[in-house]
Structure 1
Amino acid sequence: MAYMKLGGLSTLALLVASSVWAQDLTVAVRGGPESLDPDYSALGSHAEAAKHMFDTLVWANKDLQIEPGLATSWEPIDDTTWEFKLREGVKFHDGSDFTAEDVKFSIERIPVVTGPTSTAVYVRRVADVEIVDPLTVRIHTEGPAPTLPNDFVRLFIVSHTAAADYSTPETSAEGFNSGKATVGTGPYKFVSWEPKGDLVLERNDDYWRGPAPWEHVTRKEMPNDSSRLAALKSGQVDLATDISSIDYLALQQDSSVDTVVGDSIYIMNLQLNQRTDEYPGLRAKDGSDLPENPLTDPLVREALGKAIDRDTMVEIVLEGLGKPANQLMPEGFFGSNPDIPWPEYDPKGAKALLAEAGFPDGFQMDLYCTGDRLPGDAAICQGLGQMFSAIGIDTNVNALSKTVYFPAQARGEYSVMMNGWGTLTGEAGYTLGSLVHSSDKEKGLGAYNRTGYSNPDLDAKIEAAMSEMDEDKRRDMFQEAMADTVASRVLIPIVQLQSVWGAKAGLLDYTPRVDGETLADFIQPAD
């Protein structure tokens, strides 16, 4: 087993014993795309699939540090203008040239075609796109945007000609899912896709980075942990993602399978409804209606935080595959605050707080989460339910498919939610501006604020930090905003996940990306 920590990862490489693998690679993945339109969803599983066919303007390496992608360089011209130079000689899969027209088209279509887990967050600061010449674009922003290149690590570039007729909510799915518009510049070309099934790809021999290692790649979506493991052990697949903690322990004694563990960027967090008009799933102890939302009381939120035994969650529920979390980003990310205290597990204190808040016997609540998105999500959710019940809050746990959970969450149907959140851009503006800032469609902020929380003072701090061009000042401002967020206990960090991959025996070295993405073009066969 290889175990890698954040911050010191080497080049992603998968070395396997048999050269037969050099032609075909079959990967069992827990989650797949919701559509083949790369702009439809911001979920990691969706973007992971898209990266096989589409390139991003800026590339995030294995440590989420930004590097040139389809843009070779970028620089601020003034406080509200960034100039991006584009890579020369890049071809789309249909042989057409990649130009600035494709960048402008790709940016402008995102707010139109995006779905419930919105990708508009990546272009929220763009006011206008100016084409200077075929290989130069200037991005004009709504105020200073010092981290705009970080946002563009999820700016997928589609062909402005192939996608021209498939860039409305009504036409997007038909054009991309059929392959008509699925024309990118990425390492693999679209062959076929069955929703919830197989995504079949073939190598793009004219890829600008050079041909990928595998001629054919099949990504098999298999949400069930046991099914993925069975497919790996029976030889149906070469690599399986998201091995469960229980299966990981068993595989340590299995010589036919090698495993790799890596820290991930995903922080599981509890999200608590702050709306006073609607608070579904919250009931008095006897099941009757509550006169007001108990989650708006800071004492109740503090009690919920004290009820969580994070060490037990890691050691028992996750079998050691994780670490306790005290904020919404991993340690060392830009804007994470090293001075935030570690939360205290204190069930007696939690009960006392509930009594002080007027709930000496507790109350009833429904807790919702995904059961098929991230490793251990359902198990963590069940663990939370038991811990909350232990302090008198009778908790009904509902672990749902992500295709059900996220649209319902966006509609405000849940009051108590557990989400996994990854800071995909590596900096706090993405997380705080998306999760904590008041929902503001005009500013493109609060896109994933599902709690209804609104704090004008905190909003002002987040916006000021996002506009600060001085890096040291910006870091300090984000750290202060992160501390305020944690202190509010509207979003309660629980654990940072780790990910496990399993491969046929013969794996010599495999260093995963910290975002957990499994990209076929960075998986190398042995000589």
Structure 2
Amino acid sequence: MERKLRICTPLIISSLLILPLLSDLSKAQSEKPRGEIRVVESWRPDVTVLGHNVLQYLFEYALDRNELAPSLAVSREWIDDTTLEVKLRQGVRFTNGEPFDAHAVKFNFDYQRQHNPGRGIQIYMKNVKEIEVVDPYTVRMILDHPDALLMNRMLSAGPKIGWVIGAPRYMEKVGWDEFLKRPVGTGPYMVEGEVKDYREMPEGEAYATLVANPDYWKKGYPKIRKITFVRYTPKEALRALIEGRVDLVTSLIPKDTLKVAESPHSKVVKGRQDVRWTVGCLNLMSPHTLPLRNMRVREALNYAVNKKELLRYAFKGNAVEMRGALTEKSGVDLSNTQPYEWNVPEARKLLKRAGYGEGFKMKLFYEERDYLIAHLLRRFYSLLKIEVEITPIQWEWIVRHVVYPNTREGYSWEDEDWWIVISSHPSYAPELMGGILEWHFHAGAPFQTSPDWLGVPLDRIYSQLLRTKDREKRFQIYKRANEYIADQALWVFTMAPLGLYGVNEEVEFVPQLSQYLYLDYSSVTDNHWSVRGERK
């Protein structure tokens, strides 16, 4: 008898999970948190564990819409080009009893600017000159220059990357380093004990435990009483999920979905809206990679990519097509942006016209989860007589050599001999193209992989974007930017994989639109191991 795969589709998720949460609030308010789940967070566990779950933001990503939603703040308004007024939520307290108010917001900005080395406060909010207290529940952010993308930029996850709001008196008393170990926030959960460095923990050991905040300001939430974060390698995490030893594995690798679905203990949850983008970042800055500065070479690299094979073998059908740097889910008009279709003869013609008809050698680096993509690309490029050396790397390498190379002592592009880095990034921002422009292509961007002469048009677009407060007009600008990025073939465009989660059969997991792990909406059934244990 044929076995049916237990895969939760977005329709099932939205109809069975999200709507009851939103429509049956009175029932939710009468229920107490129950049960416990064990989580393997695959994407930056040091970042996503605390973000939202413990330490919250003024605004957050909406549960079911591609836009910002109120959190600790309830509204915002531009007073002028460089003054943003924010109204704060009243009646909220930190879990140690301290009040959340305008003075807490100002303290967190001033204190973290001095003590938090994370790029969330030092880079993302560098444009904020100061925060003024207008009244107990109103603040004004005074900027150095117009910045319509400020709110999106503030939502980077967790205290090590983003700007979060913690208990002021406690933070000042214990200091920033101690605060990171035992943070006190306003979120749906509190830290039990301390948060440990997951990289130093043995496999299978817990590095953070969260317990429900009984006084959480969003009544009826969270649903789960206790959450334990456990360190596992991807291979061991899969085995633990299938055997029922963990309840949730994020960023599930597509090739593992069948194994998860066939287990009696687990299911696959697909976040249809949780689309990520997987691209080949091109090194256009180094003297070692001069062929990449030729647009015909970059076009050839894209025409050589057989997306049907990528979809079949690397993504197992769990991906959507990219049109330029975006997908249809972005909300941007992509009518004038066509994907690069597989066309090896055209790729060969372009290389010949560029003077590289006999090919060349190049180095391709990839993260472990993307090894199938790397191997397929090597095969695709061999048809163009391009010899590709592939090397596996960790995310930390990408940060040091691609994202923030200029933070390394003695940094020089002359030392960077990588040609392509394959990396998957969550497309979590409601206005993703703003982040792409900000961190990848405009002159001076930290993720700078384009020479200044190539980035000039994008600089003009980016400058206009910062001055455009109207959202619809910004999306028109995003359209132009995406067309330019596609026309110039500034990346190797592959596919945008869906967000995949391995979940215990008895856990009702509600995925977000973003990659951030918001766990307050998820719950466990009566038959979950932890609930059965509580009843005994």
Instruction: Tell me: CA distance 1:338–1:399, structure 2 relative to 1, closer, same or farther (3 Å).
Output: farther
1:517 aligns with 516
Superimposed CA distance per residue, residues 236-285 of structure 1 (whole angstroms, 9 cap, x where no aligned partner): 11222233222212333333322211232311111112225x43xx5xxx
The percent of aligned pairs where both chains have the same amino acid is 22
AA matched with 1:424: Y
The code of the aligned residue for 1:141 comes to L
Tell me, yes or no, if structure 1 residue 416 matches structure 2 residue 420: yes
Rounded Cα–Cα distance in structure 1 between residues aligned with 2:480 and 2:459:
12
2:322 and 2:12 mapped to 1: Cα distance?
A: 14
Structure 1 match to 2:231: 221
Q: Is residue 423–residue 430 contact of structure 1 (8 Å, CA) maintained in 2?
A: no
Q: Name the structure 1 match of 2:341.
A: 344
CA distance in 1, matches of 2:114, 2:275: 28
1:302 match: 299
Distance 1:133 1:67, change over 3 A: same
Indicate if the aligned counterparts of 2:275 and 2:499 stay in contact, CA closer than 8 A. Answer: no
Q: Which runs of 5+ in 2 are unaligned?
A: 1-6, 22-30, 157-162, 202-206, 406-412, 527-536
Matches within 5 A, 1:34-433: 34=46, 46-62=47-63, 63-108=65-110, 120=122, 122-154=124-156, 155-164=163-172, 172=176, 174-179=177-182, 182-191=183-192, 192-196=194-198, 197=201, 198-210=207-219, 211-224=221-234, 226-263=235-272, 264-276=274-286, 278-279=287-288, 293-335=290-332, 337-371=334-368, 376-409=369-402, 410-411=404-405, 413=416, 414-427=418-431, 428-433=433-438
Does 1:489 pair with 2:489?
Answer: yes
Cα distance, 1:177–1:476 mapped onto 2, change above 3 Å: closer
Query: In the alignment, what sits opposite 1:43?
Result: none
How far does residue 67 in structure 1 lie from its aligned partner after superposition?
1.5
Q: How far apart in 1 are the matches of 2:517 and 2:129?
A: 33
Moved more, 413-422 or 313-322: 413-422
Distance (Å, rounded) in 2 between the aligned partners of 1:433 and 1:398: 28
> Does the 8 A contact of 2:506 with 2:524 survive in 1?
no
Contact 1:107 1:123 in 2 (8 A): no
Over 3 Å counting, the alpha-carbon distance change for 1:415 and 1:158 in structure 2 is farther
Would the aligned equivalents of 1:12 and 1:510 in 2 still touch at CA under 8 Å? no
Choose from 434, 438, 441 the match for 2:443.
438
- When residues 159 and 407 of structure 1 are mapped into structure 2, their CA distance, relative to the original with a 3 A threshold, is farther
Letter in 2 for 1:310: K
Q: 1:323 to 1:114 in 2, by over 3 A?
A: farther
Q: Which moved more, 1:466-475 or 1:424-433?
A: 466-475
Q: Counterpart of 2:469 in 1: which secondary structure?
A: coil
Aligned residues: 480
3-state SS of the aligned residue for 1:250?
helix
| Structure-2-length-normalised TM-score | 0.81
Supply the distance in 1 between the matched residues of 2:281 and 2:460 (Cα, whole angstroms): 21
The whole-number CA distance in structure 2 between the counterparts of 1:13 and 1:450 is 46
Q: Secondary structure at the match of 2:154?
A: helix
Higher relative contact order (CA 8 A, sep 6+): 1
For the structure 1 residues 473 and 73, does the alpha-carbon distance in structure 2 shift closer, same or farther, using more than 3 Å as the test? closer
Supply the AA of the counterpart residue of 1:215: R
SS at match of 1:129: strand
- Report the aligned-residue RMSD: 3.0
Q: 2: distance between equivalents of 1:223 and 1:13? A: 35
CA pair 493-320 structure 1, distance change in 2 beyond 3 A: same
Shift of 1:27: 1.4
SS at match of 2:153: helix
Once residues 165 and 33 of structure 2 are traced to their aligned partners in structure 1, the CA distance between those partners, rounded to angstroms, is 30
